[in-house]
A and B are shown apart, each in its own frame.
Chain A
Amino acid sequence: MSDAIPLDLDFATGDRARSVTTERRPVRIALILIAVAFLTLFLLLPLFAVFLEAVRAGFGSYWSAISEPDAIAAMKLTLMVAAIAVPANLIFGLAASWAIAKFEFPGKSVLNTLIDLPFSVSPVISGLVYVLLFGLQGYFGPYLQSHGIQIIFAVPGIVLATIFVTFPFVARELVPLMQEQGTQDEEAALSLGASGLKTFFLVTLPNVKWALLYGVILCNARAMGEFGAVSVVSGHIRGKTNTMPLQVEILYNEYNFAAAFAVASLLALLALVTLVIKVALEWRFTDQIAASRRH
């Protein structure tokens, strides 16, 4: 450390006009252009193409494509699945990261690793696991069947598969932040006589609310967009168990390209809306976010 200071001073006095970056101007411009070109080519252009293809056959056919009963059923199902999976993972993620960051208990590292499991296995396998468990040839299938309970090839299976693949999103956002924040605030609250629950709602939760929001947004985006796992457990019953991503594939395979892109554009729009909400909230509450990060 003592070596670094004179070096820094030497650098600063030696060339005052130079900024913190040492690359020359043409290099910097080239780097920026490459980044912009990359973003345009791989992010903006495909997104633009989706919307262009969607409206190419005219707004009339766009409207009829997205107001078709099967498309509406797919939208309702997608929103419903997200509405169940996201709160479930919000509660689980919060509880798990609270336990991991604030407490010491045996098996903590196992829990921490288990949370990442859905990230490391392919979504197709996530789906097949539920077929293996609840399918007619699976462990619980015959029992469920004889009691008239349908899990896979029905809405419960789709919800389960979605919860599984979106499991880590909230916890992964919260655990590092909570660990970094430590337990001093909670200890202070407890020593001043606050109850455990009160400490949680008045101290812990406010400290992590922005990370929590970010995790929920990511979780929601994935819950609405999940294809692989849901495709395995869906059964593809039209107007009943097709989510929007599945509906897009079906329409595409039926030569119905305009309708496929219309539904795809709607799905993209849902994702964009969540991003816009996030940006708007960040903009509105800049000070609070900065304050919560200082901890």
Chain B
Amino acid sequence: MTRFRSTLAAGAALALTAFAASVALADTTLLNVSYDPTRELYRAVNEAFIKDWKSKTGESVVIEQSHGGSGKQARAVVDGLQADVVTLALQGDIDQISKAGLIGADWQKRLGNNAAPYTSTIVFLVRKGNPKGIKDWDDLIKEGVEVITPNPKTSGGARWNYLAAWAFADGKFDHDEANTKNFIQKLFANVPVLDTGARGATTTFAQRGIGDVLLAWENEAFLALDELGADKFEIVVPSLSIKAEPPVAVVDKVVDAKGTRKAAEAYVNFLYTPEAQKLIAHHYYRPSDPKSADPKDLARFVDVKLVTIDDPLFGGWAAAQAKHFAEGGVFDQLYKPKTN
């Protein structure tokens, strides 16, 4: 029993020492809560920011990352995940956090470009050689073409997919909404399975070999080429796509409670500096300031006509969300799950 007691005492002492050590080592720690495909990007950006912050202030900063589906991540922050900074896929997700009172309502005006330091767009990933000859949105509604996209009800990326298709059809049918709806209905009739998230859809297409074309974030498509083999897939850029603006914000309530506002604000501002913009372009996101990017990286982006969410066709996120994706909205009316 005495041996047991002394072991216990030693254990307690050890735990206390470890605790004391962790307190002594605690520099400023920032938690960046982000969405799925940004892991590689923020690994590079964090490294650059840590150096930059050290050289400017002499302080060390530790940056922790959490990644997941954009909607799920926003929910976690609302429920108390102590994010200093959120870098999510959709404006609507940060709006949710703002509605919960954690971020000031004017968040989108505090930073340049609608608080989006980078943009991306939707492209097609097809199998090598493009056996089905897919060139544009028209080709997706042809008979015998299987289209892979995640579910717009759960995935941020999938909403951009849907809206891009809508914009194309709207132009093609000269703003005739009945024909546009018909086009979208035919497109989703060609979708064999709706995954819940962008990464899941990529895995369905690339790993499980299902479908002829994947509607994907441009950065996801490039990453899939890098990770899964440029000899298996190729990227097709349609005639028209949508400008996706993944926004960033400092979580006011958290940084004020933790006393990390200065570093958190420096972090989101750092994303707009030439150094970060260069990294952004390198990781297949379209930089908001292309002048700072490496021309070689920029050359990979095909020039494509882009509509934005603020186009009168959609009238901003809130309107688009209510019309298309709300319970009983246009998507619910058009999409009939396959029953076979």
Contact = CB atoms under 8 A, between A and B. Distances in A.
Interface residues on B, range: 20 to 34
B286 interface: no
A142 to B, nearest CB: 9
A240 B257 CA distance: 20
Given A137-B100, A253-B36, A145 B80 contact: yes
A255 B227 contact: yes
Interface stretch (B65-73, B142-150, B156-164): B65-73
Interface in B200-241: 203, 223-224, 227-228
A150 B82 contact: yes
Nearest to B199: A253
A250 B100 contact: no
B311 interface: no
B334 interface: no
A136 interface: yes
A141 B76 CA distance: 13
Interface stretch (A35-43, A45-53, A56-64, A230-238): A230-238
Contacts of A138: 79
Given A253-B199, A254-B39, A237 B79 contact: no
Interface residues on A, range: 20 to 34
Nearest to A238: B65
B78 A136 contact: yes
Point out which of A136, A141, A145, A239 has the most chain B C-beta atoms below 10 A from its C-beta: A136
Contacts of B223: 255
B67 A250 contact: yes
Contacts, number: 52
B79 A135 contact: yes
A152 B66 contact: no
Contact of B80 (A136, A148, A240, A250): A136
Contacts of B78: 136-137
A136 B76 CA distance: 9
Contacts of B76: 153, 235
Interface in A181-240: 235-240
Nearest to A240: B64
Contacts of B80: 134-137, 141, 145, 150, 152-153
B246 to A, nearest CB: 18
A81 interface: no
Nearest to A144: B80
Given A150-B80, A238-B66, 17 more contacts: A134-B80, A136-B78, A136-B79, A137-B80, A141-B79, A145-B257, A235-B76, A236-B67, A236-B68, A237-B64, A237-B65, A237-B66, A239-B64, A240-B64, A250-B67, A253-B36, A255-B224
Interface of B: 31, 36, 39, 64-68, 76, 78-82, 100, 199, 203, 223-224, 227-228, 257
15 contacts: A135-B79, A136-B79, A137-B78, A137-B80, A138-B79, A148-B257, A150-B80, A153-B79, A235-B66, A236-B68, A237-B64, A237-B65, A238-B64, A253-B199, A255-B228
